[in-house]
Structure 1
């Protein structure tokens, strides 16, 4: 994982006003507006060398172009995998289907009894966060990212269990403590934990061996490992953890992939869920999360059934090269198909992994994906914040970073309601140094064994909030209520956007008139 971190570039009122107007038009146009990019993603982060320090501030764009340079594919954090796939979208029947893929039923046909689609459960509110590092460093960076967003609270903490050996998949003592403690500090926080289904999860295991392992798992050979994990989570007072089990199973990156034997995979998933639910005190939520699009196998073939799935998620990155966002929505097994499939099964949706990728620094993708999230209100979403996907720890995406920060800064702490005025965020002072190492990842691709405990490359203390060299710490904005009579223009972003961000966006002249 290479988290090059930086602050958003300095802004002046004229630039911000122009950008805000363009942003308003984009958001008002809905999810199909952007001419974004494609459908795939970099592999999850593995412990690696420290990144090169950021050379200096990146120039601020005067306008937000519709596309950016395409970054080279680079190894990613500990969990992302090959290109995300998604279920076929009913809106794009003309799209070709890969040989051997099962046809996708329409949501109505997939619904129990073949009748009208059941309404999705009411969403209590969209919680968001970001993947920042898999260990304690990731916990520390949550507050730093919140400060960069002018006090907006991140209610989701996201991490991954190492998939190198069973002892780590069990949640080795000490590994999850910091995350469980963070979760327990506030009642409305959510801990999202990606859990591999097999050891040697990135070791390039053959399809034949995967098939054997899946069948062994379905027969109960690995029950004890998941029982131990459940007991540890309950013992850490994190019994309501969201378990993203066997993620991106429709691809080829992980040993826990579905393609070699979909029926054995589904039986094994059901066995794991049943085992973990049998542990006294558990309140786990199980999230079934494939890649977006048609990958090695149609992800609908891997769906294990409504009884053992609580949330239907999707990992969705801006790829492949040249694919605009509206095609990411309409492609077979894409974003719309995901929403329709979840609705037909009466399940909430989630986006455990999403971010930039093949289309480079793409502000239109960022606007459109945030708009899609705001419209469809998933249970939670977590941006993958390392290069090339991220916006805070990655300095190569300044335009998309500007969009993300502008839309999410200063949001109210309680996203379940839309207060008439936003609370005043606590004043924070950000350090002026940037991290010197990338967050490590719990998985070591290709390894057959792992150290006794996951290693974190670099410093043992959390890095300071990333700032561009020579910049001054951000100042917490005054509350919207206090700005009503101070010459603070409010922007009309549309009803659904204002509901999501908790009120109208206010751009006080005194805040933006000085460079940062």
Structure 2
């Protein structure tokens, strides 16, 4: 599957009409993607039949020495990519309120791939995520880590091949040791590292295609370097894009000793394909779970959502059913336009499908979500998403340095996305 094109800067503008006109723009930083498990929450809250979870379990037989009560099942590991920096951390609370108090326990972000100094994990970038992670110990932090600088600059295959071979020889080990040391110092030692994601495509410099053997050895060197840091408990997630793309992703697999999780990034593309095609295509969803089972690995879905083909509630519902069936370690929807359901008003039916599936905090009343009210036309203190999705269309472009925004409908040219 071809992943969505990545943008250097993504502008999102919202307009709400009421007593006055509000226009606000927010920008996602350079070098991040698209700049642009479980019965899930339905089961983690009250069951559909209204029976409390404990009431459905048989009572234990009487015993003079009863065994300690088993620990409750872990809550589903559900999250979203909302923004890359501290605004993404702040937005988690708003999306949780939109979901009726559902606890989003996975925080997901990406290191910029422009310079090695950023791939090393600048503390100012990681600090907000470390604070969020440490607030509750059952949270999971997922970090996409590029394997090469200039990762989105369209480097030619010959140059990529040379860089992969240099990495395989150990030239870049020190950058990844520095990253690992910083993560451990910031109490992020159990980070899930999505290393060199979508390596089977052509979007990134850290792609596998120019030299799969060198790529695999380079991955092994990175894992060895990061695992050499005292105190680390990292999990490494091997995440191709769905389908064959430029190269069959199993050809890039670096070996069971260097991988903990088999992930997959999947969007509803190409347009018009039925969901079963995504399941049964070569190197698709079924191939992923089969491969993971053969290798004794958990599965994950670090990126999923809508591509650029409009609202698609059936796809959202079918993906959620897939998660329920295959119990991923975690899943994080890509939540901004055009892919998302909370921060993107262009997908109202998909938003309701997602919200209906995940609504209600654990231990809540299990009631279905009520109608979504329109946000009050108040100027926010900072440009973070509304707690509820507006059914009014958002504008797409704002003129830099002004409060003037221009409505542009339908699909935008790639250079404007």
Q: Per the shorter chain, which TM-score range?
A: 0.7 to 0.9
From 297, 304, 311, the counterpart of 1:347: 297
Question: 1:388 is matched with which residue?
Answer: 338
Tell me if 1:468 matches 2:362: no
Tell me if 1:270 matches 2:220: yes
Secondary structure, counterpart of 1:174 in structure 2: helix
Higher relative contact order (CA 8 A, sep 6+): 1
Question: 2:268 is matched with which residue?
Answer: 318
Which consecutive unaligned segments of at least 5 residues does structure 2 have? 19-29, 37-72, 393-417
Evaluate the alpha carbon distance shift between residue 287 and residue 43 of structure 1 in structure 2; reply closer, same or farther with a 3 A threshold. same
Q: Could you tell me how far apart the structure 1 residues matched to 2:281 and 2:263 are?
A: 17
Q: Deviations over 1:345-379 (max 9, x none)?
A: 00000000000114320111111010001111100
Question: 2:355 is matched with which residue?
Answer: 405
Shift of 1:125: 5.5
Q: Could you tell me how far apart the structure 2 residues matched to 1:433 and 1:277 are?
A: 50
Counterpart contact for 1:218–1:268, Cα < 8 Å? yes
Question: 2:81 is matched with which residue?
Answer: 131
Q: Could you tell me how far apart the structure 2 residues matched to 1:366 and 1:431 are?
A: 24
Question: 2:42 is matched with which residue?
Answer: none
Q: Deviations over 1:238-268 (max 9, x none)?
A: 1000000000000000000000000000000
Evaluate the alpha carbon distance shift between residue 142 and residue 77 of structure 1 in structure 2; reply closer, same or farther with a 3 A threshold. farther
Q: Could you tell me how far apart the structure 2 residues matched to 1:42 and 1:384 are?
A: 11
Counterpart contact for 2:345–2:390, Cα < 8 Å? no
Question: 1:52 is matched with which residue?
Answer: 13
Q: Could you tell me how far apart the structure 2 residues matched to 1:434 and 1:396 are?
A: 21
Secondary structure, counterpart of 2:302 in structure 1: strand
Shift of 1:52: 3.0
The equivalences for 1:148-297 within 5 A come to 148-297=98-247
The equivalences for 1:336-375 within 5 A come to 336-375=286-325
Counterpart contact for 2:89–2:129, Cα < 8 Å? yes
Secondary structure, counterpart of 1:52 in structure 2: strand
Shift of 1:46: 3.4
Evaluate the alpha carbon distance shift between residue 365 and residue 463 of structure 1 in structure 2; reply closer, same or farther with a 3 A threshold. closer
Q: Could you tell me how far apart the structure 1 residues matched to 2:315 and 2:148 are?
A: 34
Q: Scaled by the length of structure 1, what TM-score is found?
A: 0.62
| RMSD of aligned residue pairs (Cα, Å) | 2.8
Q: Deviations over 1:28-48 (max 9, x none)?
A: xxxxxxxxxxx5442345334
Counterpart contact for 1:152–1:410, Cα < 8 Å? yes
Question: 2:327 is matched with which residue?
Answer: 377
Shift of 1:172: 1.2
Shift of 1:80: 5.2
Give aligned pairs, total: 342
